[in-house]
Structure 1
Amino acid sequence: MGDWWQQQFPSGRQTLTIVDASDRPVTIAYGEVGTGKPLMLLHGIGSWSYNWRANIQPLSQHFRVICVDAKGYGFSSAAPLPETVGHQVLELGRMIQALSDRPVCVAAESMGALTTLALAQSQPDLLDRLVLINVPIFPKQLPSWGMQLLSYLPLEWVQWVDQGQLLCPFAPLVQEIMRWVRQEVVVDPNSISDDELYWLTYPYLYRTGALTQFAADLQLAAQEIDRTLQQQPTLLGAIQQHLHTIKHSTLILWSDRDRWFPPTDGERLQSRLPEARLELIPNCGHVASSGNPKVVNAAIIEHCLET
């Protein structure tokens, strides 16, 4: 399949080392292309920079595009268990500080967008304009059966499979399961290509730590959702309660056919953000970056270049 990073970025895949939320060094994979205002692209939970494959080159005509893999995802290294609630927020801040000497615009999808909201509250000076896509800001449960199943499994089991790379011999089966899961986030199942399935499953088959990181983050997310719904103190609840403090110019993009989080969540989010506007992405499922990249790219360019 070639080197995806080399195909997208002049210097291919680059790395930097940060200290994570538990003070452990981790290696972060990233790529960059273009010049000008820095624009960081953030993927959602369970995904990696590949999700932005239809956006990187068009956006690089206008920005210095920086595409990062979150800790434990894609080609970034994972850290040993246990994991910390909200670790993504602190780690995102450290990535920005390492990669840019000025505030960055951020275009973020799903869990990446929720992380961006939290960072806008805790370290607002690191951020410029925001584009938030299909944000899980008011969830009632983990959105897919696959996520729910993985969140119930003992982490010791997941880690055993992960460290032994026991899924490798079953790569075709894993890719077909991914095809089935992927149908929840696209409008047209026929649009799911074999290349897409290969790259989306690659980290879980061939990079130790990715599956464990995903499962650990899902368990923490499920606990946060349950406790928030029970009106117990949580990070998710705190993010919801302090949305009004975010002063960044924000564009909320929401897919009109998102089966995971309804557009009404976008309307509710807009009503709580002082400097936000909402646009619907037509004929699009939850994964909008590749589901309707033409509309997404145009919206990002317009918003982030606006004076």
Structure 2
Amino acid sequence: MQDWWQKTFPKGRQYLTITDASGYPMQVAYGEKGVGKPLILLHGIGSWSYNWRKSIEPLSQHFRVICFDAKGFGFSEKPQDRREVEGHQAIEFERIIKELCDEPATVVAESLGALIALALAQEHPQIIGRLVVVNVPIFTEALPHWGMRLFSHTPLEVVQIIDRLRLTYLFAPLIREVMAIERREVLFDPSILTPEDIYWITYPFIEFPGTLTKAAEELQIADREIKNCKFNKTGLLSKIQNNLNSVDCPTLILWGEQDSWFPIAHGYKLNQCLPNSQLKVLRNCRHDASSGASEVVNEEIIEFLMGTDFI
């Protein structure tokens, strides 16, 4: 099967080296297409740049579109045998933007990526010109899926053994089938998920040891943050919630009307909390908006960005 990066980006897959939040050098996989103002696409947990496959071409007609894989996911480097520091995603995202952009960027981010984008807009508003967030887990009170909850309670040492033995590779057909079932559940029209989609969505988990461990660790961090927030303990999630009114860049909130993971009521609440935001409800859309409602998502992004100026 043709390499997705080579097929999608003029220069194929490129690599950027940054210092991660723990002080280690790290290689980040990315691709870019188009010219103009920088627009960065950020995926959610357990995903990678492929999740934006239906947005890169349309958006690149107007902007310099940059996709990158967060640390541990996709084709980016997998940290081995070390734990993450609090807020590492936002720290590393800031460094990636500074390396790739010489002016404030538009950030388009989905799910956990959108939460990271909100944190960055609070801490470093000078590097974000405009913001688009899609189906954000900002007010969630629990991990939304049984698989997430399972991995959040599985000792990382056990997951590391699975990774080192390459069990996902040995059971690749089963892994693909399970993930296909799960992906179809978050799509309004499950029939749009193709065999090629399943191949690339699961590729990092099957081919790159460390991906599964990284996903499990991020889920454990997320579970801890949700519980801290629920019991009024200080944490990153509560900090983001309490400082939403400090995000003053123009912000578009996109939310799937039938999102069963994070209900549309959370979108209305977020719209009330962000002073310079507008909410667009995506009809016939569940959680996976970037894939399941890509045409509408792209149209809304372009309309929003063409009608606002960089700060």
Q: TM-score, normalised by structure 2?
A: 0.97
The answer as to whether partners of 1:50 and 1:200 remain within 8 angstroms in 2 is: yes
Shift of 1:303: 1.3
2:51 maps to: 51
- 1:1-307 equivalences under 5 Å are 1-80=1-80, 81-307=82-308
Query: How far off is 1:282 after superposition?
Result: 1.2
Question: Displacement, 1:140?
Answer: 0.9
Q: Which runs of 5+ in 2 are unaligned?
A: none
1:301 shift after superposition: 0.9
Distance 2:164 2:119 in 1: 32
User: 1:302 Cα shift?
Assistant: 1.3
**How big is the shift at 1:187?**
1.2
- Structure 1 residue ranges without an equivalent (≥5): none
Percent identity at matched positions?
52
Shift of 1:161: 1.3
Contact kept? 2:254, 2:282, Cα under 8 Å: yes
Q: Give the C-alpha shift of residue 193 in structure 1.
A: 1.7
1:260 counterpart letter in structure 2: W
- CA–CA distance in structure 2, aligned partners of residues 213 and 169 of structure 1: 19
**In 1, distance between residues paired with 2:128 and 2:145?**
31
- Structure 1, residues 159-212: CA drift from partner, whole Å, max 9, x if none? 111123221121110011101211331112222221111111110110121111
- SS, match of residue 183 in structure 1: helix
Residue 168 of structure 1 aligns with an amino acid whose one-letter code is Y
Distance in 2, matches of 1:257 and 1:84, equals 34
Moved over 4 A (4+): none
Tell me how far 1:230 sits from its aligned partner: 0.5
| 1:24–1:79 contact (8 Å) kept in structure 2 | no
Instruction: Indicate conservation of the 8 Å contact 2:54/2:294, yes or no.
Output: yes
What secondary structure does 1:157 align onto?
Answer: helix
Tell me by how many angstroms 1:39 deviates: 0.3
CA RMSD of aligned residues (A): 0.9
Give a deviation string over 1:256-281, Cα, whole Å, max 9, x none. 11110001000000101000010001
Q: Is the 8 A contact 2:41 2:107 kept in 1?
A: yes
SS at match of 2:57: helix
Normalization by structure 1: what TM-score? 0.98
AA matched with 2:75? F
- Contact in 2 for aligned 1:15/1:27 (Cα 8 Å): yes
The amino acid across from 1:161 in the alignment is: I
Instruction: Say if 2:189 and 2:292, in contact at 8 Å, map to a contact too.
Output: no
